[in-house]
Every structure is written in C-alpha cells, then in structure tokens.
Structure 1
Amino acid sequence: MSEALTAPDATHGAPPSPVRRRVLGGTAIALVAASLPMFMATLDNLVMTTALPVIHTSLDASLEQLQWMVNAYTLAFASLMIAASTLGDRIGRRRMFVAGIVVFTLASAASALATTAPMLIATRAVQGAGAAAIMPLSLTLLAGAVPAAKRALAIGVWGGVSGLGVALGPVIGGAIVDGISWQAIFWINVPVGIVAVPLIRAVLPESRGRAQRLDVPGLALAATGVLALVWAIVRGNDAGWGSVEVVAGLVGGVALLGGFLWREAHTDHPLVPLRMFRVRSFSVATGSAFLFSVGVFGIVFLLAQFFQVAMGFSPLQAGIRTLPWTAAPMIVAPLAGMIAPRVGVRPLLVAGLGLQALGLAWQGLLVSSSGLVYADLVPGLVLCGVGMGLTFAPSSTAVLADMGPHDHGTASSVNATVREIGGALGIAVLVAVFQAANGQLTPAAYATGLRPAVLAAAAIVGVGALVALLMPRATGRAGSEVHVPETAEELAAETALEPAL
C-alpha cells in the first residue's frame, strides 16, 4: 500500500492519481490543523517585543516587569509542556490539544483586558499554560496524521511555520500596535482559536501513548528550579550579584534541578525519561536547541526595542526592519526539510547555527559604531535568517528520528521544554549583560549595552554549532532510520519488552 501511494505516475506528465491527490490533500489539511494553533502559540512568544516600549509607557512598567511579561509566558509554557504531553498520552492527545487551545484563547482575551503590569504578567502566565499543551502535541498529532513518506516534508513545513511564528512576532506585533493598540495583539488569538477547534476535531485523529502517572513531585522540582534561576538572574543587576536573595536563588535553583534529576532517575513514572538522553541524536539536538534559544530569543527581545528606542522607528517600522531575519525561515526551513533525507541533519544544523553566530557577531560589531544606519545591519540579519531556517526543521527531525512512535510525544515535549527554558534564560542572561554594560531604555545608552549582549549571544550560538558536530552522520538520512513499530501489535510487543531491556 505504501509503495502504491508514493510511487510516481507511470505516464510521464500524467496528472496525479485520485489516491495520490487524496493523500496530498489530507496531508495539507492535517498540516493546517496542526500548525495553525502552533503558529498562534509560538507567535505569542515574542509578539510583545515591538509593543514593549508602548506597554512600558501605557502601564508604567519597569524593565524588570517587561522581562516578566515575556518570561511569565515562556516559563509556564516550558514548565507544563511535559506534563501536558503525559496527560495527552493518558486521556487523548487531541483532547489535550483542544483543551490547551481553549485555555490559551481565554487567557488571550484576559491579557487584552489587563490594566496593570502585574495583571498582564499573570494573564501571560495562564496563556503560557495553555500553549504548553499546544506546541508538543501539535508535532505528535501531525506525525501520526500524515503518511510516512510525506512526514519529513510535513515536519519541514511545520518547522518553518514554528520558526515563522517566533520570528514574525515582532513584525505582527508592531503592525497591530501601530494600526490599532497593544491590546489587539492578544485579541487576534480569539478568532484563530474559535476556528482551530472544530477543524482539529474534524481532521486530526485521536491518539494515545503509554498511560502513566503524572510525576507531580518531579514537575514541582523542575518548575521551581527554573523559576528560581531565572528570577535570580533577572534580579542580579538591581539587587547585586552577591546579595542574599540572588545567591539564594541561584543555589536554590541548582539544588532543585539536581533534586529533579535524582527524582527522575529513581521513579518508575518519570516526567522526563533520562534514557532518552542515551540516544545521541536526541541529546545533541536538544543541547544545540537550548544554546540556540539562549542566544537568539534574548537578542530578539533586545533588538526589536533597539530599532525603536535607539534608531527612532515606530513599532511597525521596527517590525518591518526585522524581515531580512524573519522572512528567510519561511523559504529555507521547508527546503531544509526536503534536503535532510538526502544529506542527514548534521550538516544543516552545523551550517545553520554557524551562520547565526556569524550574523550575530556582524551586528554586535557594528551596533554601537558612530553613524550606524539600518543598511549596515542587513547582511547580519540575512545570515541569521538563513541560519534559523536551516536549524528549525533538521532539529525537529533529529528529535524524533531514532524514537519509536510511543515516545514521540514525550521526546517532542522534552525538546520544546528545553528550548523554552533556554529562551527564558537567554532573555534574563542577555538583559543582565545589557544592564551590566550600563544599557538603559534611552537612545544614548541603549547601543552601549546592546553590543556586548549581541556578542555574548554570538558566542553562545557558536558553541551550539560545535555541539551539533556531535550529531551522528546518518541521523535523518533516508534509509538510516532505526526500526519503529508500525502496528498496534508491534507497539504493544515493544512496550512490553522495555522493562526487561
């Protein structure tokens, strides 16, 4: 059957067969259903960046509060993703996916109605909780809804949409803030959520993984550990890096995360099965994704404001000027998804991360120079955009390449969690570098702090490229996949054998 669906038509130039058209049409509809909510969730990661100067004035928010408006979303997103995936395995992935969309949509409306900075921080945290059920289950449901022969292409497009959601956040946010108001960046999620729910129920089949208890102690240890670290880093420059509260936050965060690892190694129902990290393709993809997120998310947070605060552009003008960076993944990521089966993911990941490090270094070396004009930054922005496009799809492919279908949900959620944690830490760390270099939200002082922050980000992403060199050569290459069960019987047999292995 699979050969009949994937073989080319015998007659040269003949139109696709009805069966092939149905397969392609079904794949396209499934891709839209899975990607639309995911785009909405990833968009909200950074949709606020170009709105932050306006929100700063409208709500009288401090720089620390502006960070938490982004990080509250990111940390809730990161902390609950694995739990949402585990619950999805138990009660149904589609059911959990839809529940996440409903929570996200309602929290978006609440964010639009917020009248103070603390209220907006709180509603953003609830938004992140809803998004936690969207991102990992989106990829899992998509992988199960498309034929195996179309999976690499579908994941490539999905990766492009994911990257586009993150990258277009500043553009869309700027356009809406200029044209309507900052509140409208949240209102736009409401009709998307209303459309997405019935579409998902119509075209994405329900699926389940292995049913296991939710590791609540592990979830609490991980969430509080990451929160303590981010909080301490955010507070470092204001309270002093040697202050009791900052040192306690750093030490406590490390201790809590150490306790989390101990818990996961000793419980029979771990939130994060540590055995996954024995699969080199998964561990390398996850490690390089973490470093990518630390470097890139923090700089997007700072750079979108630089265009407004230091260069005098409006929110929409600032968003448009990120397009050399943001438009490239839309073109490059699907191409990378198609190329990966031929060359494997390693050369694409190494090249993608290397180009981003080079692009960031270019911008960092120029950003505080006298007489800087926007055109000087364009080559660096283009390098970052092409590199980002080469990174998203191969990284997603590598995460699932050597995992059985029953591990797809957990593997995807672990990887996405690590990336989101990297984003939150990146904003905290790079803003700390910005402030330590006397950077402030004023035209004169912004570039002074931005230069060392961008160069630090370039170094971090460069280390990510070195980590990607450890990826097995064969990962993601056609014909080199490990055996994964294709039937319920195979899956049941493999699952039954696992405790003995």
Structure 2
Amino acid sequence: MERTQPRAVRNREAPLQVTLALATLLASLGTSIANIALPTLADAFSAPFSQVQAVVVVYLVTLTISAVIAGRLGDRYGLKPMLVTGLSVFTVASLLCAVAPNLPLLIGARAIQGGGAAFLMTLALALMRQTASEARVGRAMGLLGTVSALGTALGPALGGLLIPVMGWRSIFWVQVPLALLALVLTLTTLPADTGKKMAPSIGLWSSVNWTLASNLLTNIVVAAVMMTTLVIGPFFLGISLGLTPTQVGFVMAVGPVISIFSGVPSGRLVDAWGSGRMLLVSLGLLAIGALLLAFLPTAIGVTGYVLSLIALTPGYQLFQSANNTAALRDVTNDWRGMVSGLLGLSRNIGLITGASLMGAVFTFGVGSDPLEHATASEIASGMQLTFLLAGGMMLVAFGMTFGHHNFTKRLRSPS
C-alpha cells in the first residue's frame, strides 16, 4: 500500500501540473517572442525603434503592475475562476495583437496581454502550491522554473522560424491555440473552487511574520543579478571577446538551456533537504557564479564565461524552487494568491533594477559612452566591477538568510 500511494498521488497531480505548466509557459513565451520581431515591426509600421520597443516594454509593465492584483482577486473569488479569466483575456489579447492594423493598437493589445499574463504566472504558482502534495512541493516549483526558462528560450527561436515565412503576425497567431488549449485544460483538469472567498480577517503580515519580507527582498537581489548577465553579456562577448552576433547568441543560450534541465532536479533537492538549507546552497552558488564572472571570462575567454554560467544558473533554479517553497510554506489558502503575486512583483522589480542600476554601474566601470565605442579592455573593466558588486550582493544576501535561518530555527526549537 505504501508503494502504490505515491504513484496514485503522482497520477492525480500530473494533469494538474501539465495545465499549470502550460499557463506559465504561455506567459514567459509572451515575454520573449516579441523581442525578435522589433526590427520587422519597425519596418512594417515605418516607426523608429524607440516606438516599436513599447511592444515589449508595455507587456512587462502591465505584467508587473497586475501581478499583486491578480493574486488578490484569486484569493477573493477563487484561484481557478481567476485563472480562467486570465486565460480568456490572454487569448483575446493575442488575437487582437495578430490583427492589429497599426502600432498604437498593437501596443494597446500587448498591454492587455501582459495583464492576462500576470494572472497566468501568479495563479499558476498559487495553484501549484495548493494542489501539490507536501512531499513534492519543491518538484512542483522546479517544474514551473523549468517551463518558465523554456518559454524564455523558445520565444526568440520560434519567432525566428515564423517571421521569415509567415510575417510578424504569426508570432501572435501561434499563441491563440496554445492559450485555448490551456483554457480547456484548466476547465477540465483543475478541481472546482469551493466558492467565492471573502477577504480573510487576519492580516497577511500577522500570518507569516517577517519571513516573507526576507524572501521577497532576496528575490529582488537575485533577479537583479540574473538580469545583469543578460544586459552585460552581449557587450562583453561581442566587443571584448570579438564574437559574431551568431556566436554571442549561442553562448547566451547556455544559461536558458541549463535552466531547462536543472529546474526539476532542483525541486527534488528542496523536497529531500528542505527549503531553508537549499536556499543557503543556492545563494552560495550564485555568489560563486557572480564572482567567477568577474574574473574567469577576462582570464580565459568564452570558456570562463560558460564555466561561470554552469555555477550561476543552477544556483538560480535552486533558489527559485527553494525561495518559492519557503515563501508559500506557512501561508494559508486565503493568502496564497497574494503572496504569489508579491513574489512575481519582487522578481520583476529585481529585473528592472538589474537592467537599470546594474547597467549604470557597468557604464561607469567602462568609462566610455556610447558603449559601442568602448575598447575591449574598457568593457572588461566594466564587467569586473559590475560582477564584483553582484558577488558582494549575493554574499550579503547569504549572510542575511543564514542569520534569519538560524534565528527561525532557535524560535521553533523547544526551550
């Protein structure tokens, strides 16, 4: 009986997890697939790059703004009904993007699509935690990390195949049947909510104390460091190492590929060893990876860059599984949507911070503006300064988490 029960649990959870993984995949695919179409859109609408860039930016902005709102609505009216609503909005918005006759309407449709994507990402996370058995929460979180990385990596590749053959509208048409499939699966596989939920009487912070604040702050710092690699990597690889754009693309793809294959194993480690312990391990790996990026690539070139990513990227996937599990561990069902929204919000704040503030540190380290005119040695100097700072940030996050972890253990241990 003990041997058949886990298999029965897995068989019951599998369709639910596939559905929620598809919802997460759609949201991340919507984030990345439009990037590769920007030159085509500039030509199609005879618009400058600064205007067509809004097609990408407005999606991220509405996704960020709507994350907490989506979570709160899910807590109040039910996670499944609000996920169905989000998928419906995402489907209609994808259709509107595909038929948009001009750039302003395309940007407006993308804003709506980003709002729908916020429901997909936030409520899929909350539902994954709610439906996964306690022994498999880490693996469930790791699966979401895997499909999120897969969507991010798949977007440019899929767009690159579709646009030359079918035009820019095809990148939005392809999302319509995928969204409809996710909608059907959500309606048929997810269990029905018990009904509308009124706002809980107990406050969120009273429910989870300040543990959640630590998870959210660390989430911001880690996301900022990961975005730094995406912003600085192309400059270093292209200017300092002299790689061609195609070669830069292949090297930059190493991180997403590692993420795809390390997500579920990371979740297994969290289930086996606990989220607190794995959170410390992940931050240690992130610190090592960031510090390696400060020295190895300038010393041994592309090999050093790839070796640094081999330490950094699994650390990030392990962090996602451990941090999401820890943040949602002691949260009641009435607040899981809200906390999932806060996790998404903190991650997006970190991404924006990495792109802006860490990018400014890089520019300062290079000492030349515009960056395209900088020498190889100047780019290398900026790279070292930025990732020394990133490594220091990770060490501080490790120290804070270690102290909080020990403090929590003392509180929970019998006196």
TM-score bracket relative to the smaller structure: 0.7 to 0.9
Partner of 1:278: 209
Call closer, same or farther: CA 1:344–1:192 in 2, change over 3 Å. same
- Per-residue CA deviation, residues 46-70 of structure 1 (Å, 9 max, x unaligned), is 3445555665666666675576444
Matched to 1:195, the amino acid is L
- Per-residue CA deviation, residues 217-240 of structure 1 (Å, 9 max, x unaligned), is xxxxxxxxxxxxxxxxxxxxxxxx
Shift of 1:336: 2.1
More displaced stretch, 144-153 vs 330-339 = 144-153
- Check conservation: 1:37, 1:192, Cα contact below 8 A: no
Shift of 1:407: 2.1
- Per-residue CA deviation, residues 103-142 of structure 1 (Å, 9 max, x unaligned), is 2233234344557665554333222111111112112222
Residue correspondence of structure 1 range 395-474 to structure 2 within 5 A:
395-433=323-361, 437-438=367-368, 440=370, 442=372, 444-445=373-374, 452=382, 455-456=385-386, 459-460=389-390, 462-471=392-401, 472-473=404-405
In 2, Cα distance between equivalents of 1:393 and 1:105? 28
Partner of 1:193: 179
In 2, Cα distance between equivalents of 1:31 and 1:364? 38
- From 254, 274, 284, give the equivalent of 1:324: 254
- From 22, 25, 36, give the equivalent of 2:22: 36
Matched to 1:411, the amino acid is V
- Check conservation: 1:439, 1:446, Cα contact below 8 A: no
- Check conservation: 1:308, 1:318, Cα contact below 8 A: yes
- From 203, 212, 215, give the equivalent of 2:199: 212
Structure in which a larger fraction of residues adopt helix = 2
Partner of 2:318: 390
Residue correspondence of structure 1 range 328-347 to structure 2 within 5 A:
328-347=258-277
Shift of 1:453: 6.4
In 1, Cα distance between equivalents of 2:18 and 2:102? 36
- From 200, 216, 219, give the equivalent of 1:289: 219
**Structure 1: segments with no counterpart, 5+ residues:** 9-16, 214-267, 482-501
**Structure 2: segments with no counterpart, 5+ residues:** none
Shift of 1:194: 1.2
- Per-residue CA deviation, residues 386-441 of structure 1 (Å, 9 max, x unaligned), is 22222211111111122223222211111111111222333233444566654548
Matched to 2:122, the amino acid is P
In 1, Cα distance between equivalents of 2:26 and 2:138? 22
- TM-align CA RMSD: 3.9
- Check conservation: 1:433, 1:449, Cα contact below 8 A: no
- Check conservation: 2:68, 2:341, Cα contact below 8 A: yes
In 2, Cα distance between equivalents of 1:378 and 1:95? 43
Call closer, same or farther: CA 1:59–1:344 in 2, change over 3 Å. farther
Q: Is 1:300 aligned to residue 225 of structure 2?
A: no
Task: Indicate the percent of aligned positions where both proteins have the same amino acid.
Answer: 26
- How many residue pairs are counted as aligned between the two chains? 403
Partner of 1:129: 115
In 2, Cα distance between equivalents of 1:356 and 1:190? 37
Call closer, same or farther: CA 1:136–1:329 in 2, change over 3 Å. same
Q: Is 1:203 aligned to residue 189 of structure 2?
A: yes
Residue correspondence of structure 1 range 89-108 to structure 2 within 5 A:
89-108=75-94
- From 295, 312, 316, give the equivalent of 2:244: 312
Partner of 2:62: 76
Call closer, same or farther: CA 1:438–1:465 in 2, change over 3 Å. same
1:394 is paired with a residue whose SS is helix
Call closer, same or farther: CA 1:324–1:334 in 2, change over 3 Å. same
- From 158, 173, 176, give the equivalent of 2:144: 158
Call closer, same or farther: CA 1:21–1:80 in 2, change over 3 Å. same
- Check conservation: 2:287, 2:394, Cα contact below 8 A: no
> When the two structures are superposed, what TM-score results if normalisation uses the length of structure 2?
0.80
- Per-residue CA deviation, residues 436-466 of structure 1 (Å, 9 max, x unaligned), is 6545485x55976686368436624642453
> When the two structures are superposed, what TM-score results if normalisation uses the length of structure 1?
0.68
- Per-residue CA deviation, residues 56-106 of structure 1 (Å, 9 max, x unaligned), is 666666675576444322221121112112222222211111111122233
Call closer, same or farther: CA 1:298–1:328 in 2, change over 3 Å. same
Call closer, same or farther: CA 1:152–1:373 in 2, change over 3 Å. closer
In 2, Cα distance between equivalents of 1:108 and 1:446? 43
